Amino acid sequence: MAVLCDGHSFYFYKFVNKRHAKASPQIFSGKFPDGSTIVTLDDSTKGGLSFETFFKRLRRACDAFYYVFLSGYRTGLEAYWKSSVGKGKAQCKALVYATQALEEAISAWNLYNEGKLDESKASGENAVQLLAERYVTRSLLW
């Protein structure tokens, strides 16, 4: 994964891990849970931002980075699990928890965009709890 920022907005890109004979690696522009491909941080062309708009955009940027990194984390777990199937149940459970955490993070994103702040916070906390469970489960099995 890669994040490109020009100081005003950012995009992220995903590497597609599909092997094709004699083909170069493929990188595609990522999409956020709401379908957008860009997160705007600053719009200096309109003469500045109000504090409220600035903090809303900052919150959206933080949510976007969380989503990008959680997606990358899940993809990394999946790749590791596929390369070492012998690790068995511990890795499989970790992948399940990471997938559930990603789904909760997407839900939190959508709830926040709908103005459901309390539900968004609860969903985000569930995502964090699922990630914590991944480590608890792993340490108990090792």
Write out the DSSP string of 30-65: ---TTS-S-EE---GGGT---HHHHHHHHHHHHHHH
| pLDDT greater at residue 93 or residue 130 | 130
| 134: pLDDT strictly greater than 70 | no
The pLDDT of residue 46: 61
Mean pLDDT of the chain: 77
Tokens representing residue 31 in the block: 């999409």
Helix (H, G, I), strand (E, B) or coil at 4: strand
In terms of Cβ atoms closer than 10 Å to its own Cβ (0-12, 13-18, 19+), residue 135 is exposed
The pLDDT of residue 114: 92
118 confidence band (pLDDT: 50, 70, 90): very high
| 120: pLDDT strictly greater than 70 | yes
- Of the candidates 7, 102, 12, the one whose C-alpha atom is nearest the C-alpha of residue 65 is 12
pTM above 0.85, yes or no: no
Residue type, 96: V
pLDDT digits (tens, 9 = 90+) for 32-67: 778 888 888 776 556 667 778 878 888 888 888 888
In the predicted model, what is the mean pLDDT of residues 59-82? Answer: 82
Cα–Cα distance, 41 to 33 (Å, whole number): 17
Strands 9-16 and 39-40 come out as: antiparallel
| pLDDT greater at residue 47 or residue 102 | 102
The pLDDT of residue 111: 92
Domain ranges of the chain: 2-141
The pLDDT of residue 142: 47
